[in-house]
Chain A
Amino acid sequence: MSIDLVNFTPLLSLAGGLAIGVAATVLILFNGRIAGISGILGGLLTLPRSDSAWRTAFLAGLVGAPVLAVLAGHPARPDIEAGWGEILVAGLLVGIGTRYASGCTSGHGVCGISRGAIRSLVATATFMAAGFLTVFVQRHLIGA
């Protein structure tokens, strides 16, 4: 392992992380809800549909954030290396997986660990391990 000093952004990443923490705090203190993206989105597909207003509002904020970022002089510039096949398979796996796991990086990784939930710690360790392994296989075994 060697650290990628060119792309490493400790301060910006820490600052962005703090903003994410504040956002999760706002949602739990004002709305009494967990800021878990997969759960908020997935909850729109569950019947009966009773609480779609706050879910839609939160997701609209997330989707609209790039506009705010442009105004703040920090536009989002996603660099998507994956091909279409990988994108579609990945999306499918993320959709099914996060629903069975009842959470993703936000719900388990940020909120769950913040509240000290063992379940979320196990989920986070598992999806990170699977992510490390997938990238290793793809970049260093297949792609080598």
Chain B
Amino acid sequence: MFVVTALCAGLLFGFGLIVSGMANPAKVLGFLDLAGQWDPSLAFVMIGAIAVGAIGFALAKRRKKSLLGLPMQLPAAGAVTLRLVLGSAAFGVGWGLAGFCPGPALVALGAGYLKAWGFVGAMLVGMAIFELLERTKAGWRRA
């Protein structure tokens, strides 16, 4: 059952990205181009998503288990670290270069766009590099 709800959530998430125009990098770049012809659409997507999300997460915080009896895995309040800021900055540069963030890139991949496949491939390499660096670091700590 939890696989079905995850699949539905993914479908609806992707559908929302498409309807909102966010699966289109040109539109995302239109938002990021403050000095040009600015397209505020992305802000409206965030407002809509956060308005609903705020209710959803408020309900979730009151529960110990999910509706399917799974553990509620809400992240603990963490500190603002250099890692968070530098990682976000690197992500932002990549986002600004191509107009893709992970969700829309996967949707565009599903729509069969070759450059989206290239982007997702490079993104997976980036994630693998992170895993490798983290494991190396953990290895040093153990040694």
Answer whether A and B are interacting partners. yes
Cα distance, A97 to B97, chains bound together (Å): 14
- Find chain B residues with CB under 8 A from A12 CB: 19-21, 41
Q: Range of interface residues on chain B?
A: 35 or more
Among A10, A78, A95, A129, chain B packs the most CB atoms within 10 A around the CB of: A78
Do A66 and B110 have beta carbons less than 8 Å apart?
yes
The reply to whether B15 and A69 form a contact with Cβ atoms under 8 Å apart is yes
Contact in complex: B66, A32 (CB < 8 Å): yes
> Contact: A16 with B80, CB < 8 Å?
no
Q: Given A16-B48, A65-B110, does the pair A80, B25 have CB atoms closer than 8 Å? A: yes
Bound-state CA distance A143–B42 (Å) is: 24
| B14 and A91 form a contact (CB under 8 A) | no
Kindly list chain B residues whose C-beta atoms are within 8 Å of the C-beta of A35. 9, 13
A113 to B92, CA, bound (A): 17
Q: What CA separation (Å) do A89 and B97 show in the bound complex? A: 8
Asked if B143 CB lies within 8 Å of chain A CBs, one says no
Is A8 within 8 A of B39, CB to CB? yes
Select B100's contact among A1, A62, A77, A94, beta carbons within 8 Å: A94
CA distance A111 to B106 in the complex (A): 18
Q: Which listed residue, B59, B106, B125, touches A95 by the CB 8 Å rule?
A: B125
Interface string of A29-47 (1 = CB under 8 A from B): 1111111011001100110
Q: Is A20 within 8 A of B128, CB to CB?
A: no
Contact of B122 (CB < 8 Å), options: A68, A95, A100, A106: A95
Bitwise, B5-32 to A at CB < 8 A (1) or not (0) is 1111111111111111111111101101
**Can you show 30 pairs from A to B with CB atoms below 8 A apart?**
A7-B39, A16-B16, A17-B20, A21-B52, A22-B56, A25-B52, A25-B56, A30-B68, A54-B6, A59-B10, A61-B9, A62-B13, A66-B18, A68-B11, A78-B116, A84-B118, A87-B98, A94-B94, A94-B95, A95-B123, A97-B93, A98-B127, A101-B91, A105-B103, A117-B75, A117-B78, A123-B87, A123-B88, A130-B92, A135-B29
Contacts A16-B15, A99-B87 aside, 17 further interface pairs with beta carbons under 8 A come to A19-B15, A21-B52, A28-B56, A41-B106, A61-B8, A61-B10, A62-B106, A68-B14, A76-B111, A79-B26, A81-B25, A90-B95, A97-B87, A114-B54, A115-B57, A130-B88, A135-B29
Chain A interface residues toward B at CB < 8 A: 1-4, 6-10, 12-35, 37-38, 41-42, 45-46, 53-55, 57-69, 72, 74-82, 84, 86-102, 104-106, 108-111, 113-119, 122-124, 126-136, 138-140
